[in-house]
């Protein structure tokens, strides 16, 4: 469904030397899969997410979605296919939960169009899918961290049921909510077949959620493949300079990473 081919990008600041952030990054995401994007700070993860979301144009290489080049697509068209779930959401004004989810319908409406009953149904379905339908009338600002993220995921579902791009979805949450979101994403993928690309620091989230992982370091892909084969102690050491123990945890039902210390 999503293919990145040899994507390179550098930030240029005036006449100073360009900062090469991505070098020839390639990976693929199949429909219905959950792919994890892992890498330390400065690895280019965020830039890659922004390129996939169409906010940045790669200097070379391309990203295609169902065969169509992302950077050539109209913004609204891309938004109808890919929805982004950011790490945190701050609202300046008092919007209710249903308001926030309805904003996800924006790419499906014209400039003067108001939401129709069908849009409201889609929004409510999205709330139901994320277990937040009882919060519909609550002001968004009064929700807990976990509830907020679930609502934002609902908004993303209302926007584009095809594919979700999640940028550090659990980083700002406490451990309880981390599990809640992880379970939700798993359920959405299982029940609705929603394709997901999850950029994260949380190795265990990746282990629990993702069928494939892409490991990014200093702008290059150092490893890519099924989680079981790619999320190894050796690769983690390469990626984070961290010594870790990786083994299958019977009760959890997936790989668990136990970090032990820095390698040097």
Instruction: Determine, following the binding rule CB under 8 A, whether residue 138 of this chain makes contact with another protein.
Output: yes
Instruction: Determine, following the binding rule CB under 8 A, whether residue 16 of this chain makes contact with another protein.
Output: no
Using a CB cutoff of 8 Å and minimum separation of 24, what contacts does 140-145 make?
Answer: 140/89, 140/91, 140/94, 140/95, 140/96, 140/97, 140/99, 140/100, 141/91, 141/94, 143/97, 144/177, 145/172, 145/173, 145/174, 145/177
Stretch that binds another protein, among 93-101, 197-205, 225-233, 239-247 (CB under 8 A): 93-101
What is the C-alpha separation between 182 and 99, in angstroms, rounded? 24
Instruction: Determine, following the binding rule CB under 8 A, whether residue 163 of this chain makes contact with another protein.
Output: no
What is the C-alpha separation between 6 and 220, in angstroms, rounded? 10
Instruction: Determine, following the binding rule CB under 8 A, whether residue 253 of this chain makes contact with another protein.
Output: no
The distance of closest approach from Cβ of residue 15 to another protein in the complex, given in angstroms and rounded to an integer, is: 15
The residue within the footprint of another protein, chosen from 16, 17, 90, 251 (CB under 8 A), is 90
The residue within the footprint of another protein, chosen from 134, 142, 144, 190 (CB under 8 A), is 142
Yes or no: say if 158 and 126 are a contact pair by the CB < 8 Å rule: yes
The residue within the footprint of another protein, chosen from 133, 136, 162, 243 (CB under 8 A), is 136
The residue within the footprint of another protein, chosen from 103, 143, 172, 222 (CB under 8 A), is 103
Instruction: Determine, following the binding rule CB under 8 A, whether residue 86 of this chain makes contact with another protein.
Output: yes
Sign of CA dihedral 115, 116, 122, 124: positive
Output 71 or 91, the one with its CB closest to another protein.
91
The residue within the footprint of another protein, chosen from 100, 182, 214, 255 (CB under 8 A), is 100
C-alpha angle 230-235-241 in degrees, rounded to nearest 5: 155
Instruction: Determine, following the binding rule CB under 8 A, whether residue 99 of this chain makes contact with another protein.
Output: yes
Instruction: Determine, following the binding rule CB under 8 A, whether residue 144 of this chain makes contact with another protein.
Output: no
What is the C-alpha separation between 80 and 53, in angstroms, rounded? 11
């Amino acid at each position: 469904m999503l293919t990145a081919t040899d994507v390179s990008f550098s930030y240029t600041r005036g006449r100073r030397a360009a900062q090469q952030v991505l070098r020839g990054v390639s990976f693929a995401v199949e429909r219905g899969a959950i792919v994890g994007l892992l890498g330390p700070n400065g690895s280019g993860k965020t830039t890659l997410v922004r390129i996939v979301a169409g906010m940045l144009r790669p200097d070379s290489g391309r990203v295609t979605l169902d065969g169509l080049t992302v950077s050539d697509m109209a913004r609204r068209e891309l938004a109808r296919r890919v929805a982004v779930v950011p790490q945190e959401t701050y609202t300046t004004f008092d919007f209710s939960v249903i308001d926030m989810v309805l904003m996800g319908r924006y790419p499906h409406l014209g400039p003067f169009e108001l939401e129709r009953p069908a849009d409201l149904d889609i929004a409510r379905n999205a709330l139901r899918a994320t277990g937040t339908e009882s919060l519909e009338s609550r002001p968004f600002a009064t929700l807990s961290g976990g509830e907020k993220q679930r609502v934002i995921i609902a908004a993303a579902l209302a926007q584009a049921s095809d594919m979700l791009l999640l940028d550090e979805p659990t980083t700002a949450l406490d451990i309880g909510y981390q599990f809640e979101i992880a379970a939700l994403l798993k359920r959405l993928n299982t029940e609705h077949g929603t394709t997901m690309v999850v950029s994260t620091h949380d190795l265990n989230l990746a282990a629990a959620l993702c069928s494939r992982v892409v490991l990014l370091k200093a702008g290059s892909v150092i490893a890519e493949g099924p989680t079981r084969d790619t999320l190894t102690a050796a690769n983690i050491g390469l990626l984070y300079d961290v010594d870790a123990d990786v083994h299958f945890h019977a009760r959890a039902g997936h790989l668990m990473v136990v970090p032990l210390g820095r390698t040097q």
